[in-house]
A and B are shown apart, each in its own frame.
Chain A
Amino acid sequence: MKRHIIKPRPNWQQKVEEIGFNFHSLESPYWDESVYYEFPMSEVDTIEKATNDLWNISLEAVQYVIDNNLYHQFHIPEWFIPHIENSWNNDAPAIYGRFDFAFKNGIPKLLEFNADTPTSLFESSVVQWQWLQDFDAGSDQFNSIHEKLISYWSYLKDYLYPGTLHFTTARDSAEDLTTTEYMRDCAIQAGLETKFLYLDEIGWDNTFPQFLDLENTIIRNIFKLYPYEWLVHEEFGQNIMRDHSKAFWIEPSWKMILSNKAILPILWKLNHGHDNLLESYFEEDKELAGSSFAKKPILSREGSNIQLTNQGNMIAETSGEYGEEGYIYQALCTLPDFDRHYPLIGSWIVGQESAGIGIRESNSLITDNKSRFVPHLIR
Chain B
Amino acid sequence: MKMKKSGYVKLVLIATAFSACSQPKSEREKAVYMRSDTTAHYSRAHGMGFLGYYYAFRPYGIYSAGRGFSRAGYYSGAIHEGSNVGTNGVKGSVVRGGFGSSSVHSSS
Contacts and interface: CB of A to CB of B under 8 A. Distances in A.
Interface of A: 17-20, 22-23, 44, 114, 116-120, 125-126, 129-130, 132-133, 137, 140-147, 168-179, 181-182, 184-185, 188-189, 194-207, 212-217, 225-227, 230-231, 233-237, 239, 259, 301-302, 356, 369, 378
A225 B99 CA distance: 12
Given A137-B20, A143-B6, A171-B103, A214 B13 contact: no
Main secondary structure of the interface of B (DSSP, over half): loop
Given A19-B11, A144-B5, A174-B55, A200 B105 contact: no
B68 interface: no
A356 B4 CA distance: 8
A215 B42 CA distance: 13
Interface in B4-29: 4-7, 9-14, 16, 18, 20
A206 to B, nearest CB: 5
- Most chain B beta carbons < 10 A, residue from A17, A145, A202: A202
B5 A203 contact: no
Contact of B94 (A130, A141, A216, A259): A216
Given A144-B5, A177-B55, A189-B10, A369 B105 contact: yes
A20 B11 contact: yes
In the A-B complex, the 8 residue pairs with the closest CB atoms = A236-B98, A119-B107, A170-B103, A199-B100, A230-B102, A22-B52, A235-B98, A195-B80
A233 B102 contact: yes
A194 B6 CA distance: 24
A257 to B, nearest CB: 15
B70 interface: no
18 contacts: A22-B50, A22-B51, A126-B9, A146-B9, A147-B6, A173-B106, A174-B48, A174-B52, A175-B107, A185-B14, A188-B13, A198-B100, A203-B96, A204-B98, A216-B91, A226-B99, A235-B97, A302-B107
A204 B95 contact: yes
Contacts of B14: 19-20, 185
B82 A215 contact: yes
B79 A202 contact: no
B107 A301 contact: yes
Interface string B71-88: 000000011101100100
Nearest to A126: B9
A133 B78 contact: no
A323 to B, nearest CB: 16
Contacts of A216: 90-91, 94
B93 to A, nearest CB: 4
B54 interface: yes
Contact of A119 (B44, B78, B108): B108
A98 to B, nearest CB: 8
B13 A132 contact: no
Nearest to A173: B105
B107 A133 contact: no
A231 B13 CA distance: 27
B86 A179 contact: no
A206 B94 CA distance: 6
Nearest to B95: A204
A231 B105 CA distance: 13
A378 B106 contact: no
- Most chain A beta carbons < 10 A, residue from B40, B54, B86: B54
Contacts of B80: 194-196
A105 B8 CA distance: 33
A214 B76 CA distance: 15
A202 B98 contact: yes
Given A185-B13, A206-B94, A199 B50 contact: no
A215 B54 CA distance: 21
Given A169-B106, A215-B86, A199 B94 contact: no
